[in-house]
């Protein structure tokens, strides 16, 4: 693999800073805490760390409301701490990817503070402003992801401003070249600090329709099929995101990254109806994003046909782009809790899932704590901190359940996360899965993760290889990863009972690289236990 393309097939580990390690006892994780745990991350066997936002922010949306793009929020530490983090990560062979929240700022950002004053100041058109309709209502029917209208009235300017999320997260006006220039300078700032890449939050929300045309309703048959607590899903989002003008900005962004050499970018794409079309556009021709991830594998569906369909649809649509797959992140329920059936061990799901994820073609992203089998925490309404969950409770419980602190020492106060009161509680169930417990057990889930990631790193076909699916029935997913004369067979039993799967006549197993102890091969028949997997070299 070319050094300049280190991102192809890489393993990224997402760190949610406020929940990783608290170094000063204030109950909130910080950059010095992450530095302390860098050896642990390196030993896991990943290539890069994605840091969720640590910039200066009022924290209305846990840092995704930035008030200064070029400053570290004091709750997380200092700029010197960040520089040391980058230096130590690089010493350990880890890349640093940071979250860039470019679609909107905090309403306390100096740009918006000036913009809202009147209609003639230097920043007057740096955000999306519009007059009220004659009856005083909002300019159009656009909705906020976090509930209600996407428009908020500003009494000083006597206009509405757009916010796709919280009212305190005003949308920037990317139609203004000065806004693009200013944002790219903030990207340059972090490139000069030595970061290796960027995860672009809500990358398809940068531009809106200049004419502010209303979105049409989702067809009734599709609305009726939804189990939606949020009416945002009732619209076809044709005009408030995924606009074609975004392609030229992404080219400017990529040109800046390329001028710094071996840098990478991954875009977050939540685009319900058109995600693969957007991925194809955003990653084509090598002059925009390096890769994207969608929410295709972040949902509840758990079946061979679903995962095969996700991969096949991607490669059918995206000819020259790249994908990054993930099963969990800070915005969705943890996958062991989504996929485990009643009475089923979450450890079995976790062991199965990392084998599957490691075998998929593309890059992969892990979310902190999944290597320990951390489950979704059950929180009361009073414990919630997520404005999204608070707004839609109890139909939607928000994102706090997947954001509870990392657990390091089972018998320490707050499982070693903090000596103070954690910003979210550490549950007893999580504490029992602490790192110190699992490091003492050679057969633990943590050591399973390490072994699977070592295997992936040692097999070029698992990193760079093409994928060819095999006919395997309704319960089994089977495919080959092939590269430069190497061929690896990957077989997964999704069912909760043992299955037998017959090898195709043209395939001969030469070496089992990774398998469940109870998996058996007899002649041309492979018997896999419930949630069993087999990874083998093919001769």
The span from the CA of 212 to the CA of 246, in Å, is 16
**Would you say 115 and 127 are in contact if contact means Cβ atoms under 8 Å apart?**
yes
pLDDT score of 3: 57
Rounded to whole angstroms, the Cα distance separating 90 from 39 reads 11
Three-class DSSP category at 200: strand
- Which is catalytic among the residues 30, 73, 154, 268? 268
User: Rounded to whole angstroms, what are the CA distances from 518 to 421, 479, 480, 527, 529?
Assistant: 44, 21, 22, 8, 6
SS3 at position 368: coil
pLDDT for residue 228: 85
**What values do phi and psi take at 406, rounded to 5?**
-65, 150
* Alpha helices per DSSP H over 274-340: 275-283, 304-317, 335-339
Query: Which residues share a beta bridge with 12?
Result: 48, 365
Is-contact 370 329, C-beta < 8 A?
no
pLDDT tens for the 539 residues of the chain, in order? 445 799 999 999 999 999 999 999 999 999 999 999 999 999 999 999 999 999 999 999 999 999 999 999 999 999 999 999 999 999 999 999 999 999 999 999 999 999 999 999 999 999 999 999 999 999 999 999 999 999 999 999 999 999 999 999 999 999 999 999 999 999 999 999 999 999 999 999 999 999 999 999 999 999 888 888 999 999 999 999 999 999 999 999 999 999 999 999 999 997 666 788 899 999 999 999 999 988 999 999 999 999 999 999 999 999 889 999 999 999 999 999 999 998 888 999 999 999 999 999 999 999 999 999 999 999 999 999 999 999 999 999 999 999 999 999 999 999 999 999 999 999 999 999 999 999 999 999 999 999 999 999 999 999 999 999 999 999 999 999 999 999 999 999 999 999 999 999 999 999 999 887 677 877 789 999 999 999 999 98
What pLDDT, on the 0 to 100 scale, is given for residue 271? 66
What integer pLDDT is reported at residue 139 of this predicted model?
98
**Spatial separation of the C-alpha atoms in residues 44 and 366, rounded to whole Å:** 11
pLDDT confidence of residue 522? 79
Residue 300 is predicted with a pLDDT of 94
Backbone angles phi, psi at 149, to 5 degrees: -65, 150
Q: Which of 30, 61, 154, 201 is catalytic?
A: 201
Backbone angles phi, psi at 336, to 5 degrees: -65, -30
The pLDDT, as a whole number, for residue 523 is 79
* Whole-angstrom distance, CA of residue 198 vs CA of residue 476: 36
Transcribe 223-267 into DSSP letters.
Answer: HHH---S-GGGGB--SSSS--TTHHHHHHHHHHHHHTTSS-EEEE
Q: 201 catalytic, yes or no?
A: yes
* Cα separation, 109 vs 56, whole angstroms: 10
pLDDT value at residue 147: 95
Q: What pLDDT is recorded for position 487?
A: 97
Which domains does the chain carry? 3-102+177-207+244-455 (3.20.20.80), 466-538 (2.60.40.1180)
How many CA atoms does the CB half-sphere of 125 hold within 13 Å?
7
How many CB atoms sit inside 10 A of residue 152's CB?
A: 19
Provide the sign of the torsion angle of the four alpha carbons 468, 469, 470, 471, taken in this order: negative
Peptide bond into 73 cis (omega under 30): no
Note the pTM of the prediction, 2 decimals. 0.97
Q: Measured between alpha carbons, how far is 369 from 346 in angstroms, rounded to an integer?
A: 13
């Amino acid at each position: 693999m070319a050094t300049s393309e280190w991102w192809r097939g890489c393993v990224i580990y997402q760190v949610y800073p406020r929940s990783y390690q608290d170094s000063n006892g204030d109950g909130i994780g910080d950059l010095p805490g992450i530095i302390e745990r860098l050896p642990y991350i390196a030993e896991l066997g990943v290539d890069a760390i994605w840091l969720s936002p640590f910039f200066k922010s009022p924290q209305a949306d846990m840092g995704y409301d930035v008030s200064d793009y070029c400053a570290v929020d004091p709750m997380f530490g200092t700029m010197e701490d960040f520089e040391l983090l980058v230096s130590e990560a690089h010493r350990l062979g880890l890349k640093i990817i940071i979250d860039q929240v470019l679609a909107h700022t905090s309403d306390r950002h100096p740009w918006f503070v000036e913009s809202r004053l009147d209609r003639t100041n230097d920043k007057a058109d740096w955000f999306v402003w519009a007059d009220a309709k004659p009856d005083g209502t909002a300019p159009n029917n656009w909705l906020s992801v976090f509930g209600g209208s996407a428009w908020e009235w500003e009494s000083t300017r006597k206009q509405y401003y757009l916010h796709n999320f919280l009212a305190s997260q005003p949308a920037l006006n990317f139609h203004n070249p000065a806004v693009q220039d200013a944002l790219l300078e903030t990207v340059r700032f972090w490139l000069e600090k030595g970061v290796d890449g960027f995860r672009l939050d809500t990358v398809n929300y940068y531009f809106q329709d200049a004419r502010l045309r209303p979105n049409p309703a989702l067809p009734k048959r599709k609305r009726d099929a939804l189990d939606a607590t949020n009416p945002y899903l009732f619209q076809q989002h044709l005009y408030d995101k995924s606009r074609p003008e975004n392609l030229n900005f992404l080219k400017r962004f990529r040109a800046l990254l390329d001028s710094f050499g071996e840098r990478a970018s991954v875009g977050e794409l939540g685009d319900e109806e058109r995600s693969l079309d957007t991925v194809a556009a955003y990653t084509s021709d090598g002059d925009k994003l390096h890769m994207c991830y969608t929410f295709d594998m972040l949902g509840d569906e758990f079946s061979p046909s679903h995962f095969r369909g996700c991969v096949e649809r991607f490669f059918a649509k995206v000819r020259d782009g790249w994908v990054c797959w993930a099963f969990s992140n800070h915005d969705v329920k943890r996958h062991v809790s989504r996929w485990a059936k009643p009475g089923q061990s979450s450890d079995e799901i976790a062991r199965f899932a990392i084998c599957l994820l490691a075998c998929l073609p593309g890059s992969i992203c892990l979310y902190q704590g999944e290597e320990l089998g951390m489950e979704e925490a059950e929180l009361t309404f009073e414990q919630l901190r997520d404005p999204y969950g608070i707004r839609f409770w109890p139909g939607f419980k928000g994102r706090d359940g997947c954001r509870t602190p990392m657990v390091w020492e089972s018998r320490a106060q707050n499982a070693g996360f903090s000596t103070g009161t954690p910003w979210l509680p550490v549950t007893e169930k999580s504490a029992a899965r602490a790192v110190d417990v699992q490091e003492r057990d050679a057969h633990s889930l943590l050591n399973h993760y390490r072994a699977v990631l070592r295997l992936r790193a040692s097999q070029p076909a698992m990193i760079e290889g093409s994928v060819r699916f095999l006919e395997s029935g309704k319960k089994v997913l089977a495919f080959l990863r092939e590269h430069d004369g190497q061929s690896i067979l990957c077989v997964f039993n999704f069912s909760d009972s043992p299955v037998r799967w017959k090898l195709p006549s043209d395939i001969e197993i030469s070496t089992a690289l990774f398998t469940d102890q109870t998996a058996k091969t007899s002649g041309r028949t492979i018997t896999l236990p419930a949630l069993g997997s087999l990874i083998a070299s093919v001769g």
